[in-house]
Amino acid sequence: MSRILALLIGLSIMSCKQQVKEEHTAFVDQEVKDTIVEPTDPKATEFYEPVPPTVNPMGKNGIPSDAIVLFDGKHFDHWVHAKDSRPVEWVLNEDGSTTVKDKSGDIKTNQVFGSVQLHIEWRSSPEHKGSGQNRGNSGIFLQERYEVQVLDNNDNETYVNGQVGSIYKQSVPLAKASVATGEWNVYDIIYHAPEFNSDGEKTKSATITVLHNGILIQDHFEIQGTTEYIGWPKNKSHGKAALKLQDHGDHSRVSYRNIWVRTLD
């Protein structure tokens, strides 16, 4: 009996010692942590490189100095027919914009891109009187696959994941931010390309953030794959690819102007 009592007392003392040791260790760890995380010298948390490049936000024609101008209203030198790379047939307007020529086909840049910051302006035609998806439908395809919807949604309802500013059939915009039909809308898009491994499997989804007339409508959305009209998103491996603009083929007469990108790769 006395042996058992002695054993219990011994265990109790060991337990107390262990607790004291753990508390002491925690105290010391906290001390070390405080020393590392909370320095008293402000210089300890100041870095001087890498130095970011200087960009003039109001470069030539008010466009950032490091941007690639894809369309300035003068010509289609940076664009080709999306299917067979023949010359673009869309209308070049005197006001520095281009208008979809119905059923002439989608157009794409002859330069390919990965991650980009894209600025693009568009407007719907007041003369176009269709309804639902058939009023002022066009679209901006990142890497020829992922569509940011362009649509005249003013007094014109449709499925919400296909409305203006949606990532088509995937992500409903956070707000409807269109200006009046016939006025110019602005999309500013931050797009990060998806990544694939050597087996062709997607290892990182593309992400997209969209400002529509300065209003956040897509907030770092993870793109699920290609934006299909019918069926689920596809995720076939791809590299850099063109920016594509849609001819929806329904006399939509959507116009575009002032298109530029900054590469983010």
Q: Which of 115, 124, 134, 137 binds Mg ion (CB under 5 A)?
A: 137
Distances (CA, A) of 55 to 16, 67, 239: 63, 9, 27
Angle at 198 between CA 196 and CA 204, to 5 degrees: 20
Bridge partners of residue 190, in order along the sequence: 117, 209
Question: Of 120-128, 139-147, 186-194, 195-203, which segment contacts Mg ion by CB under 5 A?
Answer: 139-147
Residue 108's contacts (CB-CB under 8 Å, 6 or more residues apart) are: 79, 80, 81, 82, 141, 144, 242, 243, 244, 245
Query: In this complex, which beta carbon is closest to Mg ion, that of residue 114 or of residue 139?
Result: 139
**Does 153 participate in binding Mg ion (rule CB under 5 A)?**
no
115 or 137: whose CB is closer to Mg ion? 137
Nearest approach, Cβ of residue 181 and Mg ion (Å) = 16
Report the C-alpha gap between 6 and 29 in whole angstroms: 34
Which one of residues 105, 114, 136, 139 is an interface residue with Mg ion (CB under 5 A)?
Answer: 139
By beta-carbon proximity to Mg ion, the closer residue of 97 and 153 is: 153
- Specify whether the CB–CB gap between 159 and 171 falls below 8 A: no
Scan residues 82-111 and list those touching Mg ion (CB under 5 A).
none
> With CB under 5 A as the contact rule, which of the stretches 93-101, 103-111, 131-139, 256-264 interacts with Mg ion?
131-139
Residues 109 and 254 sit within 8 Å (Cβ to Cβ): no
CB count in 10 Å sphere of residue 48:
5
- Tokens found for residue 112: 């390919």
Task: Name residue, tokens 């466009």.
Answer: 63
> Is the Cβ of residue 64 or residue 187 nearer to Mg ion in the bound state?
187
Stretch that binds Mg ion, among 50-58, 107-115, 133-141, 181-189 (CB under 5 A): 133-141
Distance in Å, CB of 30 to Mg ion, minimum = 57
Choices 95-103, 136-144, 176-184, 231-239 (CB under 5 A): range interacting with Mg ion: 136-144
Nearer to Mg ion, 67 or 145 (CB): 145
Binding-site ranges for Mg ion (CB under 5 A): 137, 139
